[in-house]
Amino acid sequence: MTNSFPRLPELPDDVSGVMRTLLEHGSQAYLVGGCVRDGLRGQPVYDYDIATDARPDRIQQWFPRTLATGLRHGTVTVWTGKRPVEVTTFRTESAYSDGRRPDRVTFTDDLVQDLARRDFTVNAMAADISGHIIDPFGGLADLAQRCLRAVGNARHRFAEDGLRIVRALRFVSQLGFAIEPQTLTAMHQEAQRLQSVSNERLGQEMRRMVQTMWWLAWPLWSAGPWLTVYPHPWPKWQPALREGAAAVGTTEAAQARFGRRWQTVLLDLGWQHEWATVSAWMFWLSRLTGASTDETVEAIRRFAWPKQVGRDVQNMMSLAVEDPVDWSDCAWREALFERPAALVGWVCFVFDTLSPVTQNRLAMFRDRLRTQPLHRLSELAVNGHDVAALGLRGKQVGDALRLLAEAVLRSEIENERYTLLQWLTQRLSDLHASHREGGGLR
Ligand code: ATP
Ligand code: MG
């Protein structure tokens, strides 16, 4: 069963060190899952998973720095000094009577039994410390053919755990593989099983789909029966999502073009945080489906995605009440003030992509960003101390700074220290008067 070819590329020392420790204690040690699949594809590997017949309590004894991450499922995280490595005891999984998690986990000494419980053949290979591949389910052949095939009886496997349906779609996005016909048929037949999958697990797989080449899975995902059993409001969105496949394109070339553009724009905008792609995608969906802000935020919450995603989407939706081609000078300046520019750029891109009115809004955005007189309050050429020196106190200081910012944004004055202070001094008597009458600085 052990092939001499192909082999996994050389392992980092610390990872083979963990395997060596296990072997020296007379246990088995194999790399499994994504690191074998991606290593064989010549892709960079970030997470190494090791499977062993050693039981968790022994693993904890043999390594100085461990974390009992998933002890109940037999997983101990070993800290190598360079990275965390998950070491999991070989296991078989019994029935998933609630469709959410295995009823109980049974440890085994047999690697092949452990591989048999895994979802797809390309995920069910193992590699020993010298990189030899153990491949009892034909994963190598499927990898060469870029084919996603369930391990064993596909229908049983999806019935056991409905999440595997969405995992299949996620791997289509991530790997660009096609789903083997019988596996795909079983995904259709067992669609209802998704109902008993927790929203958090579903959200985790959806996140990974969105963060990879989601456009590859889109035609399949949006046309299949699965969205009807997603949590609210996804079923309601399905018709619009299906139509949205046209915006992406169904031919390989069209999808590749769309994907390139999507990635380039996101990269150019320099949108920083880890979930930016998810925010971008959800805003795009809200435009496709005509969903309300509340509804979109609800969908985000149900998947247990971070609040930041909801805030980004709300922020973009508040801009999108009007097409950017119709924004006034003032509206542009307000849009680009105290708001990450990437959000504004993304709104423009999505309008460019979905609106029947052809205009290069993204180019407009770039022009406007270049000529924006002030991006944030902290860029004002005066600060709170300067304003306080004119005799303003407490809340008045903030109010004065905002007033100055508004004047700069309206192009009434230049953002230049002397000009700002002079402008403010001229208005001070009015301001004091309005304060005496109980008003603010406005
Ligand atoms: P990635 O590189 O994106 O993390 P991965 O293959 O490592 O891909 P994970 O979700 O991290 O995917 O899972 C690790 C491995 O565990 C998989 O390769 C697969 O063998 C197995 N696995 C994970 N989830 C399931 C599941 N629901 N059913 C069966 N096997 C699973
Ligand atoms: Mg992984």
Would you say the C-alpha torsion 403, 409, 414, 415 has a positive or negative sign?
Answer: positive
Per-residue tokens: 422: 């002079």
Tell me, using a 6 A CB cutoff, whether residue 164 lines ligand 1: yes
Per-residue tokens: 311: 């805030």
H/E run at residue 432: helix 417-436
Which pLDDT value is given to residue 245?
A: 84
Report the C-alpha gap between 393 and 385 in whole angstroms. 10
Which pLDDT value is given to residue 98?
A: 65
H/E run at residue 34: helix 34-40
CA of 10 to the centre of ligand 1 (A): 22
Ligand nearest the Cα of residue 170 is 1
Report the C-alpha gap between 91 and 96 in whole angstroms. 14
> What is the DSSP code string of 117-186?
TSSBGGGS-EE-TT-EEE-TT-HHHHHHTTEE-BSS-HHHHHHH-THHHHHHHHHHHHH-PEEPHHHHHH
Contacts of residue 96, defined as CB under 8 A and 6 or more positions apart, other chains included, come to 102, 103, 160, 161
Report the C-alpha gap between 205 and 217 in whole angstroms. 13
Which pLDDT value is given to residue 438?
A: 60
Question: Which residue minimizes the CA distance to atom 18 of ligand 1?
Answer: 33
Which pLDDT value is given to residue 436?
A: 67
Tell me, using a 6 A CB cutoff, whether residue 33 lines ligand 1: yes
Kindly report the pTM of this predicted structure.
Answer: 0.90
Contacts of residue 73, defined as CB under 8 A and 6 or more positions apart, other chains included, come to 88, 91, 105
CA of 396 to the centre of ligand 1 (A): 57
Q: Which domains does the chain have, with CATH numbers?
A: 2-145 (3.30.460.10), 159-321 (1.10.110.30), 383-436 (no CATH)
Report the C-alpha gap between 227 and 194 in whole angstroms. 9
Which pLDDT value is given to residue 264?
A: 95
Q: Which amino acid does the sequence have at 118?
A: R
Question: Which residue minimizes the CA distance to atom 12 of ligand 1?
Answer: 34
Angle between helices 199-210 and 163-175 (to 10 degrees): 10
Report the C-alpha gap between 381 and 374 in whole angstroms. 10
CA of 402 to the centre of ligand 2 (A): 48
Using the 8-state DSSP alphabet, how is residue 68 labeled? Answer: E
CA of 48 to the centre of ligand 2 (A): 8
CA of 349 to the centre of ligand 2 (A): 32
Which pLDDT value is given to residue 1?
A: 46
Which pLDDT value is given to residue 143?
A: 97
Length of the chain measured in residues = 442
- The residue among 264, 277, 303 whose CA lies nearest residue 211 is 277
Whether omega before 9 lies within 30 degrees of 0, making that bond cis, reads no
CB atoms within 10 A of CB 314: 16
Q: Which amino acid does the sequence have at 82?
A: K
Ligand 1 atom at minimum distance from 174 CA: 3
- Residues of the chain scoring pLDDT < 50: 1-4, 442
Which pLDDT value is given to residue 439?
A: 53
Question: Which residue minimizes the CA distance to atom 4 of ligand 1?
Answer: 34
Contacts of residue 181, defined as CB under 8 A and 6 or more positions apart, other chains included, come to none
